[in-house]
């Protein structure tokens, strides 16, 4: 079993940005668990899978093969061999991903894949339940937070950089909805692990945040 580091937290806190940078510095594999759930959501919407039909959900999951591969432009998400990295960042996916991720059968399938990835390699994974469910024995658990308006602005700038036009009120509504669904779902809700270190990065630069977390990691590894 490899060494694992878990980074959890709310949407648009910069979990993936931090995890990528840490993975590069520590020479660990970075796994964006959110991209995996977005890929499932993309497939469900494309195939019009009825999300309250257990058999339909299980059948759909049996047709899904997700892989994450490093490219010159960063990690890419492949669904059944097709790169859907751009498609899964659409707001239509963002609006539905928390709903899909709350389905127990989906979580069971994704957690099994995530644990398999860590069997023989060192891994950094970000998500909602990494420190509580996926890797409860991770050597380091970080729970990332940021003020809601900071998160809204970050999400707006991220979407704008991809030429996606959406209003600030729409983004705020989406984040509040995702926070609610993520935190209140029955299966593996978003919550801080008892031994996780809470880091509010509202007023931290990316380099300051990385420096803090690398010091924590090097003490634990």
pLDDT value at position 73? 67
pLDDT value at position 187? 86
How far apart, in whole angstroms, are the C-alpha atoms of residue 201 and residue 211?
Answer: 12
pLDDT single digits (tens) 170-210: 999 999 999 999 999 888 899 999 999 999 999 999 999 99
pLDDT value at position 88? 95
pLDDT value at position 75? 78
Angle subtended at Cα 66 by Cα 127 and Cα 116, rounded to the nearest 5 degrees: 65
Domain count across the chain: 1
- Which residue matches tokens 């989906």? 106
The band of 116, judged by pLDDT with boundaries at 50, 70 and 90, is confident
The band of 100, judged by pLDDT with boundaries at 50, 70 and 90, is very high
Joined together, the tokens standing for residue 12 give: 């648009």
pLDDT value at position 126? 93
Residue 13 domain boundaries:
4-220
pLDDT single digits (tens) 147-160: 999 999 999 998 88
pLDDT above 70 (res 136): yes
Joined together, the tokens standing for residue 191 give: 């919550």
CA 90 remoteness from chain centre: 15
How far apart, in whole angstroms, are the C-alpha atoms of residue 30 and residue 22?
Answer: 8
What value does the mean pLDDT of the chain take?
93
Total-model pTM:
0.83
pLDDT value at position 68? 85
pLDDT single digits (tens) 50-94: 999 999 999 999 999 998 887 666 678 999 999 999 999 988 999
CATH number at residue 87: 3.40.50.300
The band of 117, judged by pLDDT with boundaries at 50, 70 and 90, is confident
How large is the average pLDDT for residues 112-126? 89
The band of 221, judged by pLDDT with boundaries at 50, 70 and 90, is confident
β-strands 123-127, 82-83 pairing: unpaired
pLDDT value at position 151? 97
How far apart, in whole angstroms, are the C-alpha atoms of residue 50 and residue 147?
Answer: 35
CB 42 within 8 A of CB 162: no
Cβ count near 112 (within 10 Å): 10
């Amino acid at each position: 079993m490899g060494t694992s580091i878990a980074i959890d937290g709310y949407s648009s806190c910069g979990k993936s940005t931090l995890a990528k940078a840490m993975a590069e510095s520590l020479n660990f594999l970075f796994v964006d668990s959110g991209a995996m759930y977005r890929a499932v959501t993309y497939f469900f919407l494309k195939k019009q899978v009825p999300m309250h039909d257990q058999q339909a959900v299980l059948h759909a999951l049996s047709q899904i093969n997700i892989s994450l591969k490093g490219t010159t432009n960063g990690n890419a998400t492949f669904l059944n061999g097709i790169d859907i990295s751009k498609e899964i960042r659409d707001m239509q996916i963002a609006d539905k991903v928390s709903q899909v991720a709350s389905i127990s059968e989906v979580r069971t399938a994704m957690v099994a894949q995530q644990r398999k990835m860590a069997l023989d390699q060192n891994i950094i994974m970000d998500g909602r339940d990494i420190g509580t469910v996926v890797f409860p024995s991770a050597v380091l658990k970080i729970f990332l937070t940021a003020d809601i308006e900071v998160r809204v602005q970050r999400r707006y700038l991220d979407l704008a950089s991809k030429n996606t036009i959406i209003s600030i009120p729409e983004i705020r509504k989406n984040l509040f909805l995702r926070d609610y669904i993520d935190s209140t779902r029955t299966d593996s809700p978003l919550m801080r692990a008892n031994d996780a270190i809470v880091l509010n990065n509202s007023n931290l630069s990316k380099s300051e945040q990385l420096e803090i977390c690398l010091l924590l990691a090097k003490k634990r590894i």
